[in-house]
Amino acid sequence: MRPFYAIVKATLQSLLRERILYNVIFVAIFLLAIGYLAALLVYGHQDRVMLDFGIMINSLSVFFIAASAGARMVKQEIDQRTLYPTLVKPISRVTYYFAKWLGIALFLGLNLILLTLVLMGGLHLTGGAIHGVLFQALSLTWVESMMIAAAALLSSLFFTSSLTVMCTLAFLFIAHNREQIQFLNEHGQATLLGRIQFIFPKAQYFLLDTRVYYDLGLSTAEWIQRAGYGAIWILFFLLIGNAVFYRKNL
């Protein structure tokens, strides 16, 4: 497992040096501060405004980081050929690909922890209580961001980094509207998107903002079910990505 962890660590170190990702975090923290100021302008339920705003900002920034990191990490190494000295060592491409994804996943976890601490600070200042359902929501945000990273990694094997980010964000938009697409498809509004909807996950499963707002926690079984759903999609994207990467001429 030493080679695997070496690549995970190198990926994490490489991401910690990416300036663009820090910019996203700073913007997120800035927006959380704006959220706090907006909450102060509201009469009553200031904590709920902070919570609503905070969860949205946390999710969007982590999703953007996931798309950006997934689009760049393998693609950049292919373009700059820095993966040559790594892949000529006796390690398989499967190990390399999974390790790259895990490095990104850990980075996303670190980002989420940082942004959650800022959000908790804002909640504390607005007099809000921190409930367990908030952590359930954030854990599912992490699962979703890992899924986005896996989809971006796969997409980056075919497209340029910027096109991959765009494709991944479009994928995310469709995934969050899959139930509506399904509804339209079942009620006579059949579109191409409706026919191929099954290649998109139902991202609503990962959204718990309303539940957080009203402190309606998931049961452990429900949480496992939703996280498991995400894990299956992550595995799906990683396996397809691996199959492509395994036979790719570098």
Residues in contact with another protein by the rule CB under 8 A:
2-3, 5-7, 10, 13-14, 17, 80-93, 247, 249-250
Q: Least Å distance between CB 2 and another protein?
A: 5
The percent of the chain in helix, strand and coil, each rounded to the nearest 5, is 80, 0, 20
Quote the strand ranges of the chain, DSSP E.
none
Q: Least Å distance between CB 161 and another protein?
A: 18
- Collapsing DSSP to helix, strand or coil, 201 comes out as coil
How far apart are the C-alpha atoms of 210 and 216, rounded to whole Å?
A: 8
Q: Least Å distance between CB 16 and another protein?
A: 10
Q: Which is nearer to another protein, 86 or 185 (CB)?
A: 86
Classify 143 in phi/psi space as left (phi over 0), alpha (psi -120 to 50) or beta: alpha
Q: Which is nearer to another protein, 3 or 194 (CB)?
A: 3
Q: Least Å distance between CB 1 and another protein?
A: 9
Q: Least Å distance between CB 247 and another protein?
A: 6
Nearest CA to 223 out of 151, 109, 141 is that of 141
Q: Which is nearer to another protein, 82 or 225 (CB)?
A: 82
Q: Which is nearer to another protein, 86 or 204 (CB)?
A: 86
Q: Which is nearer to another protein, 84 or 183 (CB)?
A: 84
Helical pair 220-246 and 93-125, crossing angle rounded to 10 deg: 140
